[in-house]
Amino acid sequence: MMSKTLLIEAVSVQNWTYILVGVTFAIYIGIAIWSRASSTKEFYVAGGGVSPWANGMATAADWMSAASFIGMAGIISFAGYDGAVYLMGWTGGYVLLALLLAPYLRKFGKFTVPDFIGDRYYSDTARIVAVICALLVSFTYVAGQMRGVGIVFSRFLEVDINTGVIIGMLIVLFYAVLGGMKGITYTQVAQYCVLIFAFMVPAIFISIQMTGNPVPQLGFGGELADGSGTYLLDKLDGLSTELGFAEYTEGSKSLIDVFAITLALMVGTAGLPHVIVRFFTVKRVKDARKSAGIALLLIAVLYTTAPAVAVFARTNMIETVSNQPYSDVPQWFKKWETTGLITFTDKNNDGLIQYVADEAQNELVVDRDIMVLANPEIANLPNWVIALVAAGGLAAALSTAAGLLLVISSSVSHDVIKKVYNPNISEKGELIAARISAVGAVCVAGYFGINPPDFVAAVVALAFGLAAASFFPAIVLGIFYKRMNKEGAVAGMVVGIGIMLYYIVKYKFGWLDDTLPDKNEWWFGISPEGFGAVAMVINFVVSITVMKFTKAPPEEVQEIVENIRIPNGAGEASNH
Amino acid sequence: MTPKEKAKAYWKENIRYVLILLAIWFLVSYGAGILFKDTLNSIRVGGFKLGFWFAQQGSIYVFVILIFVYVRLMNKLDKKYGYDE
């Protein structure tokens, strides 16, 4: 008779993936049915009574996308120290959010970010500019998520990427359209649990294997478990320099660029509409502050583990393949070779794998995404752990996609239809409009997922840069500078976005010249990824200058500002 | 104090907290993790060079602590001014 462990071993990776993905999807659908939205308030802000912990978990899942889950550790493992721009950039923004934005926007008590911009700057022009920014940011971001869903499906379940995108669309469609923000919030709570478990289990296994320490955050600063007494990071620094790469702990980006990218990502994070709206769903101002803290705490669990995973994976990979005969490579190497994510060309025909920094001699190209996806296989972990990573990747991509789709649909149904086009629309009519826009948004996102525009790689730079260049200054000035008026805010947003788009188009896509301009031509040596920091400063300067030459906002607007600075009496988010 | 004066005094204290906390936010990330990284790297804690540790670990821990400190300070401040609920 087969023992139980043998039985578990016998279930293939693919079957485990079907089981785990099936179970998690069933949970999401169950939650969606249980939490249907019956009013616009439930659809836009989950009824406004979400507890700080539930909101913190939902925010964390909303925030951590396919890029955080699959991409980040891989990027860090190839970038070394430079990877810190993502680690600090995508966490430090929450400090800004908690201290400068969330409590006041909650007190303001409306449904969307364009709501705040439109009311605070008493202008439909400002509202429309804000809607355009929100749509631009959210669509660029969501295209990448749907693609992520497709990729995870295709790699683990061996279906076509497009089929994967369509399955993902149907799931999101179901709970976003049915439940609105309410459905999204509670599925995101479940998705956080799935994704964090899926990320931590392999990390802990590998940390024990390599350093004997079950805490990855400590393990990667510890000694190797092989008894040599060498620190893991020293070993990796040694391996890297031996192969001609920069020392892992040093990095190779310039100081000013590291500074600018970190700042652009932090400010961009604080300005992303799908993150900001999460704070409209809690009951009181103090809950908004607290749930920002909880969200960051839960995000930090993954973000402090990712750099450890990066170091484990990089060391493991170099040791397994470098200078080894190609005929002896392990099974996972062959498997990922068939997907084209690992390619080996034996340039000098010696049958050995030369993995070196010098491109003329390097024979191995490894896609960065593999570092998380293949990590459990590289470390020989059990099949169910490998399948768990697939379920986690899907949870991360779906939760973020749903949050973004809600921003898109509420921008259309609330900010455009209700506030500008037809203010007399009934509650019921608006709810129907919201659902129809959600369906439309899912279809557009799915289209981009199936036919990804060739600029998907630039999505991060673009979405964060635009958020940094538009919303962050307009909202901060709206709260902290009573005299800021509509002329200043609109001018600042338009110039900020304009210059950001120009810079990306010129220096990232190379559409304005025959070839992509060289790095030497970057302004102040700042890359397109970091330019959001410059565009934000320009927005602030333009806003304040224009404001000085135009008249102060009306008395009642100044009263709104005084009112949002006082935390009590937030009441419920309202439609009027 | 009139309600207006009260609101003004509350706001002033709030701004002071925010400025102090943001100064720390800046020092750990842009300071220790970026600008002074090379100097701090000469100090080692276990296998970590200190500048590298701040950039990839330490600053994130400090960010979390900063928000919870702010939550505590503001809850106290709300009570002091009778704005709590």
Q: Per-residue confidence of chain A (576 residues) as pLDDT tens digits?
A: 445 555 555 678 888 888 998 999 899 889 888 888 888 888 888 887 889 999 999 999 999 988 788 888 888 988 899 999 999 999 999 999 999 999 999 998 888 899 899 999 999 999 998 998 888 888 878 877 777 777 777 777 777 778 888 888 888 888 788 888 888 899 999 999 999 999 999 999 999 999 999 999 999 999 988 888 889 999 999 999 988 888 899 888 899 999 999 999 999 999 999 999 999 889 899 999 999 999 999 999 999 999 999 999 999 888 888 888 988 888 888 878 877 778 888 888 888 899 988 888 899 988 877 788 888 887 788 888 888 888 898 888 888 888 888 888 888 888 888 888 888 888 888 888 888 988 998 888 888 878 776 555 556 667 889 899 999 999 999 999 999 999 999 999 999 999 999 998 888 888 888 888 888 889 999 998 899 999 999 999 999 999 999 999 999 999 999 999 998 877 655 554
Q: What global pTM score does this model have?
A: 0.92
* Residues A49/A180, Cβ–Cβ less than 8 Å: no
Say yes or no for a CB contact (<8 Å) between B67 and A289: yes
Say yes or no for a CB contact (<8 Å) between A88 and B29: yes
Domain span at residue B72 reads 3-80
Structure tokens at A480: 């902290």
Q: State how far the Cα of A259 lies from the Cα of A27, in Å rounded to an integer.
A: 42
* Residues B63/A92, Cβ–Cβ less than 8 Å: yes
- Show residues of chain B in contact with A296, CB under 8 Å: 63-64, 67
Within-domain flag for B85 = no
- Show residues of chain B in contact with A569, CB under 8 Å: 85
What three-state secondary structure class fits A457?
helix
* Residues A396/A195, Cβ–Cβ less than 8 Å: yes
* Residues B79/B41, Cβ–Cβ less than 8 Å: no
**Pairing status of strand A342-344 against strand A364-366:** antiparallel
Say yes or no for a CB contact (<8 Å) between A99 and B35: no
What three-state secondary structure class fits A222?
coil
* Phi and psi at residue A413, to the nearest 5°: -75, -40
Q: Which of A81, A289, A290 comes nearest B55 by C-beta?
A: A81
- Show residues of chain A in contact with B72, CB under 8 Å: none
- DSSP code for A328: G
**Pairing status of strand B48-49 against strand A342-344:** unpaired
Q: State how far the Cα of B85 lies from the Cα of B75, in Å rounded to an integer.
A: 10
- Show residues of chain A in contact with B33, CB under 8 Å: 84, 88
Within-domain flag for B34 = yes
Round the CA-based radius of gyration of chain A to a whole number and report it. Answer: 24
* Sequential pLDDT tens for chain B (85 residues): 788 899 999 999 999 999 999 999 999 999 999 999 999 999 998 889 999 999 999 999 999 999 999 999 999 999 999 998 8
| Cβ-based neighbours of A206, under 8 Å, separated by 6 or more | A216, A309, A312, A313, A316, A375, A376, A379, A381
Rounded (5°) CA angle B35-B36-B41: 130
Which residue of chain A is at minimal alpha-carbon distance from B18? A99
Q: State how far the Cα of A553 lies from the Cα of A421, in Å rounded to an integer.
A: 25
Provide the shortest C-alpha distance from residue A323 to chain B (in Å). 27
Position of tokens 């949870």?
A395
Within-domain flag for B40 = yes
Say yes or no for a CB contact (<8 Å) between A98 and B67: yes
Within-domain flag for B53 = yes
Within-domain flag for B20 = yes
Domain at A19-452: CATH code: 1.20.1730.10
**Residue A351 at interface with chain B, using a CB cutoff of 8 Å:** no
Report ipTM for this prediction.
Answer: 0.97
Domain residue limits, chain A: 19-452
Structure tokens at A509: 């896509």
Position of tokens 């947003």?
A493
Structure tokens at A463: 């979405």
Query: How many domains does chain B fold into?
Result: 1
User: A303-345 pLDDT, tens per residue?
Assistant: 999 999 999 999 988 888 888 898 888 888 887 887 777 888 8
CA distances A206 to A437, B21, B29, Å, are: 44, 36, 28
- Show residues of chain A in contact with B59, CB under 8 Å: 87-88, 91-92
Say yes or no for a CB contact (<8 Å) between A566 and B61: no
Within-domain flag for B75 = yes
Q: State how far the Cα of A210 lies from the Cα of A315, in Å rounded to an integer.
A: 10
Say yes or no for a CB contact (<8 Å) between B41 and A249: yes
Structure tokens at A227: 């008894």
* B→A interface, C-beta within 8 Å: 7, 10-11, 14, 18, 21-22, 25, 29-30, 33-35, 37, 41, 45-49, 52-53, 55-57, 59-61, 63-64, 66-68, 70-71, 74-75, 78, 83-85
